[in-house]
Structure 1
């Protein structure tokens, strides 16, 4: 197994230096489609979580083409399945480069983007992630951008909410040790909660593929904390909460922006919990109202995923950058992305800082109440 893994990684490293992956973009005929890549999970454990973002990315491209395309040319989106793994994400990044895309939208999970970003950075291909919140995704990589807030602020915001609004003074933190997103976000919450005067009674790790959380829940039962911070993904967090409630845990559960559609696994057990998010149907942004109408007209349903509008914003930010660049040259697109200022998206106004991260991106706190996701408050940086 190790030899196969080594071979895959070696192939990936060597592929980065293929001539077709050189910085800049080969000239195209004026009537040829503009090729944009999208890297998400169509298969594997992340597929259900990624599907709404794929929908939104396709919807954005439809919107762009309905308006006449970009620079007088239609936009063609090619989706590359990352198989829900970091290695699959790296392979998808290599494939997108060989496909001569002008830019890449994705990935969503931080562990996937962390694997992709160095390859696309070295190839000189702009990448914009909708929801990878790990700070390391963009750090030191001038071709890599994101549409979301970062975990240092997300952890701080939820710690502040727990301490100031919920009056929590003790917490247990349980993280998915298989995912960088979960472990890093958990660390940021711990630091911020302790700095505010709260006490972290215990930090516990679990495997993302776990189905039985009774041992960890037993530790929580022993500590009787005010809150349990659970920065996992939909499946593991949902199962965890459901089992905890059955075992009599009464602490308030708190989660991050990856709790999309957690009700699928937690059911009514998620009642009374809170999560941080990038979007809610009640946000007051004009672009959000427009997106809700367009989405319902296209799919015949309402937006049920709080992260998916980030994919729409990522695609529209990229389109805006291509228009401002006036060319499909990758270097020019990167420069235009870096110069993005006051872009009015569905998730708010976006201006990139020197790291390719949005400045002043607010966090929304959502409460699970009476079977609904209720807008609780907005926390500004």
Structure 2
């Protein structure tokens, strides 16, 4: 009898573990929950969790609940790679929702590709990310489109012909956007009068801005992250540069105005969605997000939500939970009604969708226009 009891005590936890495993679908996520650009990761993570909570409340996928395993990449490429390795090898996830930064996705996605595990990035816009392999997807538009959106806006809406570029030379995202803007603006007959650089973590930009001022531009394109952009805006105004600053979705953070204060007001950036939208999908998402987190969702939250929803829809359609089956269904995504627009994944596994141009208005974001591919 003692032996029987001991055997039962050993077996029961294993049976419970197997039952739990059989009743869940484990999905991995890494994000910058700490580090210099943590607002990006925290927002994306909130969007992902909201989406999966909704799905679980509605019964899950294939009768199974989603179990989300989240790891913090600390804003570091090597940590993103390490997190992806752990999620796949230790947590046995069926897919990975990658972080928001292109550099980190370029470090992490090759690991998922090699293991045959689908990888979906909410916001990595650098074109090279999905070139890593056929298991790598994204739900955001890419830098060439985002750069051309602002080149068109500068040329046709702001009516400016001479622009300076101030790029983060160590950031794949910033470099990609700057190159795309430069090429498109020149095609439109515009002139790039200066192309100077800085690095993330810099706090003094007066030398670069003084050089730019000497070239008499009519606008400055600053495709960086909010952490530096706010300081750049302040120092530009201190040097008497009252011309418009333009940028990309890396500006989108509540911290932008906190850092840049009034100096950032009136400037423009491209983004994935606007909270001013009257689309029912958007208004419902904002309502649910506010109810859960007591804050207004930014674009990174919306992209995290869309990434989770698109992945869940692909898993629901797949014949099994194998990486190949999920990958094949992700590749079929067409006209998905996302919060950030109607999303179709093309042959390169990139999202084909519209972009919006936003103007900073204090802590608010004023919608200006929509640009379609």
Tell me if TM exceeds 0.5: yes
Are 2:37 and 2:227, in contact at CA under 8 Å, matched by a contact in 1? no
2:274 pairs with 1:248: no
Are 2:110 and 2:132, in contact at CA under 8 Å, matched by a contact in 1? no
Deviations along 1:110-138, whole A, 9 cap, x unmatched?
01101111111111110110100000000
Are 2:163 and 2:218, in contact at CA under 8 Å, matched by a contact in 1? yes
How far apart, in 2, do the equivalents of 1:82 and 1:370 lie?
A: 31
Instruction: Describe the shift of the 1:195–1:88 C-alpha distance in structure 2 as closer, same or farther (beyond 3 A).
Output: same
Among 275, 295, 316, the residue aligned to 1:323: 316
Radius of gyration: which is bigger? 2
What's the counterpart of residue 297 of structure 1?
A: 291
- How far off its partner does 1:223 sit? 1.4
Q: What is the TM-score of this pair, normalised by structure 2?
A: 0.92
2:57 pairs with 1:66: yes
- Report matched runs for 1:1-381 at 5 Å: 31-98=22-89, 99-261=91-253, 262-303=256-297, 305-359=298-352, 361-369=353-361, 372-381=364-373
- How far off its partner does 1:323 sit? 0.6
| Structure 1 residue matching 2:325: 3-state secondary structure | helix
Deviations along 1:276-295, whole A, 9 cap, x unmatched?
00011123433212211111
Deviations along 1:5-38, whole A, 9 cap, x unmatched?
xxxxxxxxxxxxxxxxxxxxxx997743110001
- How far off its partner does 1:152 sit? 0.5
- How far off its partner does 1:184 sit? 1.1
Are 2:109 and 2:132, in contact at CA under 8 Å, matched by a contact in 1? no
Structure 1 alignment gaps of length 5 or more:
1-26
How far apart, in 1, do the equivalents of 2:364 and 2:315 lie?
A: 39
How far apart, in 2, do the equivalents of 1:165 and 1:269 lie?
A: 21
Name which of structure 1's ranges 57-66 and 280-289 shifts more when overlaid on structure 2. 280-289
How far apart, in 1, do the equivalents of 2:138 and 2:278 lie?
A: 22
Quote the RMSD (CA, aligned, Å): 1.5
- How far off its partner does 1:43 sit? 2.1
What's the counterpart of residue 11 of structure 1?
A: none
Deviations along 1:180-224, whole A, 9 cap, x unmatched?
000111011000111100000111110111011111111122112
How far apart, in 2, do the equivalents of 1:119 and 1:134 lie?
A: 18
Are 1:277 and 1:307, in contact at CA under 8 Å, matched by a contact in 2? no
- How far off its partner does 1:61 sit? 1.3
How far apart, in 1, do the equivalents of 2:295 and 2:106 lie?
A: 33
Q: What is the TM-score of this pair, normalised by structure 1?
A: 0.90
> Aligned pairs, how many?
353
